[in-house]
């Protein structure tokens, strides 16, 4: 059985990586201030900035596969705390990648579509980057650090949505919660992205790793849409009035300087390697709705602590 270590295991993606693999792998969940309570999962409490403690963990556990999902991912928080963003997004990645290389652990490093400037998508892996925020700059540097330290790592640029333990951590949840209250919500017509349902993303990351993929790959939805269109799609999927989504332009807001607009990702490289295209937005929303009715969303809430 694969010995799997997940960093950022209480985050939106890390929690799903942990929960969805508990029956097929020996799972170790790296946590910090929050906690998980998943039967069969071993929590590992550590601050990722503590390189000595991390070295002890790798020496003890010797993981076969590491899914490095941990990051300071809030654009605003990174702008306000650039030193913390660098420590968590770059230096912690350097340590994780170095330890994976030393212990011959396979590494999947989760990056972001935000490394691009958003002026000319859809982007392929070889397109020049142009990060516009502290968050994006640290994530772009983390990509280079991961591959410098561990040349056979898989670096996955992505964007994702889905249920979380708190019910408030993804864009889709934001729309669903607002619609349930009857609130109108701004939907940006000039912001485009290629977002995957988080469980689909986890499946693709594991499939890509198992297939021996290395280097940069775009792991995203096989189609793209604006955030206005996404809001409308969420409304349709969950039975709400599409008119609650109000068309706006992010270019009219002050925050436009740190947020890229057209962050669509070309996934042909991944599709060719795996022999199939990634799921679409519609596929992900259908699965998200099914997971609400099946009890999966409740399972995330039960097993997540301190959110």
How does residue 258 score in pLDDT terms, banded at 50, 70 and 90? low
pLDDT in tens, 37-81: 999 999 999 999 999 999 999 999 999 999 999 999 999 999 999
Which ranges of the chain would DSSP assign to H, the alpha helix?
Answer: 12-19, 51-61, 75-80, 82-86, 92-102, 134-149, 171-181, 198-210, 227-237, 268-274, 281-294, 296-303
**Nearest to 151, CA basis, from 203, 216, 86, 210:** 216
Q: What is the pLDDT of residue 256?
A: 55
Judge residue 203's burial from the number of C-beta atoms within 10 Å of its C-beta, 0-12 exposed, 13-18 middle, 19 or more buried: middle
Quickly state the pLDDT bin for 35 (edges 50, 70, 90): confident
Averaged pLDDT for residues 217-244: 97
The sign of the CA dihedral 233, 235, 237, 239 is negative
Alpha-carbon span 268 to 170, nearest angstrom: 26
Q: What structural domains does the chain harbor?
A: 3-163+195-222+265-281+296-305 (3.40.50.720)
pLDDT for 257 equals 61
Q: What is the pLDDT of residue 219?
A: 98
pLDDT at 255: 61
- Render pLDDT for 181-217 as a digit per residue (tens, 0 to 9): 999 999 999 999 999 999 999 999 999 999 999 999 9
């Amino acid at each position: 059985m694969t010995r799997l270590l997940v960093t950022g295991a209480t985050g939106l993606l890390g929690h799903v990586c942990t929960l969805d693999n508990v029956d097929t792998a020996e799972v170790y969940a790296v946590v910090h201030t929050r906690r998980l309570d998943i039967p069969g999962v071993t929590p590992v409490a550590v601050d990722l900035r503590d390189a000595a403690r991390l070295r002890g963990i790798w020496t003890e556990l010797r993981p076969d596969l590491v899914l490095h999902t941990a990051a300071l991912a809030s654009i605003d928080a990174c702008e306000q705390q650039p030193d913390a963003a660098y420590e968590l997004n770059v230096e912690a990645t350097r340590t994780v990648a170095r330890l994976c290389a030393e212990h011959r652990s396979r590494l999947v490093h989760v990056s972001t579509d935000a490394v691009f400037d958003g002026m000319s998508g859809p982007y392929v892996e070889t397109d020049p980057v142009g990060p516009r925020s502290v968050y994006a700059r640290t994530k772009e540097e983390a990509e280079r650090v991961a591959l410098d330290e561990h040349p056979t790592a898989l670096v996955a640029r992505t964007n994702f949505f889905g249920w979380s333990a708190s019910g408030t951590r993804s864009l889709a949840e934001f729309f669903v919660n607002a619609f349930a209250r009857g609130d109108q919500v701004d939907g940006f017509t000039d912001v485009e992205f290629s977002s995957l349902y988080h469980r689909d993303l986890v499946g693709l990351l594991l499939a890509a790793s198992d297939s021996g993929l290395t280097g940069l790959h775009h792991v995203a939805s096989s189609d793209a849409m604006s955030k206005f269109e996404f809001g409308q799609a969420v409304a349709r999927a969950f039975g709400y009035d599409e008119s609650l989504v109000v068309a706006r332009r992010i270019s009219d807001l002050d925050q436009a300087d740190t947020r890229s607009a057209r962050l669509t990702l070309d996934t042909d490289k991944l599709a060719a390697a795996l022999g199939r295209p990634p799921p679409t937005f519609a596929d992900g929303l259908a699965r998200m709705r099914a997971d609400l009715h099946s009890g999966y969303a409740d399972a995330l809430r039960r097993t997540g602590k301190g959110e």
